[in-house]
Structure 1
Amino acid sequence: MKLQTEHNLPSGLDEFLQQSGWVRSTVQPLPGDASFRRYFRVSDSEKGNAMVMDAPPPHENPRPFIDVAEYLTRHGFRAPKIFSRNLDRGLILIEDFGDQRMREHLDEQPEDEVRIYKQAIDTLINLSKTECADLPPYDEAAYLREVRLLTEWYLPAMQLDFDQSEFDRIWKDALKPIARTQAVTVLRDYHAENIMLLDDGAQGLIDFQDALIGHSAYDLVSLLQDARRHVSRQLESEMLDYYIKSNEANEDFRHHYALIGAQRNTKIIGIFTRLWKRDGKLRYLDFLPRMWTLLERDLDHPQLGPLKHWFDAHIPSEIRKIAPNVMASE
């Protein structure tokens, strides 16, 4: 095995690749994400390319990724094939989907936007019609645990006072229409940086190890209210209409879409603050203005009035424009 660039290799990688039959391979580290997982491209003159996922225990558990990948592949979706695994070391050798992500393609060829988003939504429609994977539910406890990231990280960083019990009550009331809705397999991180454009015209799915059984609007929100890629209001509206018409969604779907959007964007504001505060990843604060714009758009839905009132009372618009690191430095 030969490493093309200097990098700390996972423990036991050489032995793992040899046991997997990739003896004459070179290894190239790839950019990481917001977790402890790392990725490496493995190249072999005869076998071609594959990917190594390094998901080291106890920080990461690769089993959920494997289970969901096998579920998706079994039902005709394009998830990476699993070639080899060592769960004790957290090493997984998987199919390489290449480098062409949906995001970069659309940055270069924005004229493909409607077609590619429709294709991504077709995947969600097919997933909603497929029997659910054997996964835990996305229930009220999960929703509440996630929105509390705002009160755990963002509000303290902004030096804002709040009543946790009031916050919980407002969210419990708002979540009642969807808290018991567990109807589809929800990939949970379905957006332009996790959809690969494959050579055969298909779209490959990655980063789904946190999947749960929940509401069909969740992945649609993840796609159309993307934390990292700007999706215009016009495109979001057009694609939401496309989903509702194609999937024969009921009249409550728009309300549920806005509610899940508010829940998800509240969570992400907390997560991005945590990535700065706990992990020292300052760049995630750059995404906060977009997240506030999306959250405010969701809160404007007429059935989310109590939530909107709480946010307006506790986090005024002028505060939302200030980055937490600026407040912390004062």
Structure 2
Amino acid sequence: MKHGCFTSVGQTKNGMKSYLVMNDVYDTFLTKSDWAYDHIVPISPDASNRKYFRLTSCSGSAILMDAELESPKSFDAFQDVANYLNSIGLSAPEIYASDRTHRLMLLQDLGVRTFAQDLEIDQALEPERYKAAISMLCRLQAGPGMKRSVATPDNLTEMLNPFFEVPEVANCTHGNLQLMRTKLHELFNRSLSKQSTLSLRDCHVENLVWIPNRTGPAQVGILDFQDAFNCDPCYDLVSLLWDVRRDLDEDLREYLINSFAFKKGIDRTQISRAINALKLQRNLRILGIFDRLVSQGKTKYATFVPRTLRYVHQALESEDCVTLNADLSLPLERYERKYESQ
């Protein structure tokens, strides 16, 4: 049975507007969870297939997550990783109730505004928020770790399939694809640490929430983590500091990299090599994912393409990635041309 949506608006007993529960699945789950609410509103969707709703009452608020279109494996991963993050003193949403059959969860509401929304209101918060995020990542990587998939050079190369499957890219790489894959594999093999740590994978300001009544790394609420895997320690650093959704002051970025290197005790040269390789890998993959999302009608992602392309070109200008510059020149030109008019 497909889950319905909250499709009409009515009045609650206290006069507030409320999205009415229009299907038995939600209604039964919320009744069993024993979480009373006065009104419920949808939260703007992200790039995933999940739907979120904020339930509020006089006693507080909670988040209803509908992951009906996600796999049971992804649903279980959300639960497992959330529990692990909380166990090491970080702040993932506490899970109040779950229904694996219908893939519903009732979650703790960590806050209304993300880091991204805070920074839109007050740019002066940028150093504080990013420094806190770096502390959170260092705490994450100091934990005992989880048994999750490992991002080997093979896996990182395979993760680039979305880019190479873009029709305009595929049309000009079919004769050269294996050579490019080999060069990318060699880049990851020589540039990345063999000592992997847990990585959130989508660590950026839209997935982080400030929790003022907590202290230390726990002040940073984490929203999206079910795809976590074990990778080079710089993976989340690159995700955070080269965010395709927003620019970051270059001096602040350099400060944060040095702070991360000092706290982790990693040589700055090694960090630079890893950053360049992962900046190329992440952003090529993102270009492929954005193209798929745009083809599905999620056209807002086209606005992030120029910045993503800029990050790719920055990586290719580095000494570490320069051997791939000629091979990727035509595919990137074709991709860029596709989005010039959008």
TM (norm. structure 2) is 0.87
Per-residue deviation, residues 245-287 of structure 1 (Å, max 9, x unmatched): 222112312101110111000100111011112x122221111
Query: Aligned partners of 1:211 and 1:10: how far apart in 2?
Result: 32
Alignment of 1:262-301 (within 5 A): 262-277=280-295, 279-301=296-318
- What letter corresponds to residue 338 of structure 2 in structure 1? A
Aligned counterpart in structure 1 of residue 62 of structure 2, from 41, 50, 57: 50
Corresponding residue of 2:104: 91
- The one of 319, 335, 339 equivalent to 1:302 is 319
TM-aligned CA distance change 1:95 to 1:169, over 3 Å:
same
Q: Which residue in 1 is equivalent to 2:14? A: none
Distance 2:40 2:92 in 1: 22
Q: 1 CA distance for matches of 2:201 and 2:139? A: 16
* Gap runs ≥5 in structure 1: none
After TM superposition, list the pairs within 5 Å mapping 1:1-330 onto structure 2: 4=17, 12-46=25-59, 48-57=60-69, 59=71, 61-153=74-166, 155-156=168-169, 160-162=172-174, 163-177=176-190, 181-200=194-213, 202-250=219-267, 251-277=269-295, 279-316=296-333, 319=334, 321-324=336-339, 326=341
Distance 2:146 2:107 in 1: 20
SS in 2 for 1:43: strand
Alpha-carbon shift at residue 39 of structure 1 (Å): 0.3
RMSD (CA atoms)? 2.4
What code does the residue aligned with 1:32 have? P
1:146 CA displacement:
1.5
Give percent identity, aligned residues only. Answer: 26
Letter in structure 2 aligned against 1:268? I
Q: Secondary structure at the match of 1:303?
A: coil
SS at match of 1:41: strand
Matched-pair contact (CA < 8 Å) for 1:182–1:213: no
Q: TM-score, normalised by structure 1?
A: 0.90
- Cα–Cα, structure 1 residues 71 and 210, in superposed 2: closer, same or farther, change >3 Å? same
CA distance in 2: counterparts of 1:86 and 1:38, whole angstroms = 15
CA offsets, 1:177-232, max 9 Å, x none? 25673521100000010010123151101110100011110000000000112113
* Cα pair 2:169 2:331 within 8 Å, conserved: no
Aligned length: 322
Query: Residue 115 of structure 2 contacts residue 208 of structure 2 at CA under 8 Å; is this kept in 1?
Result: yes
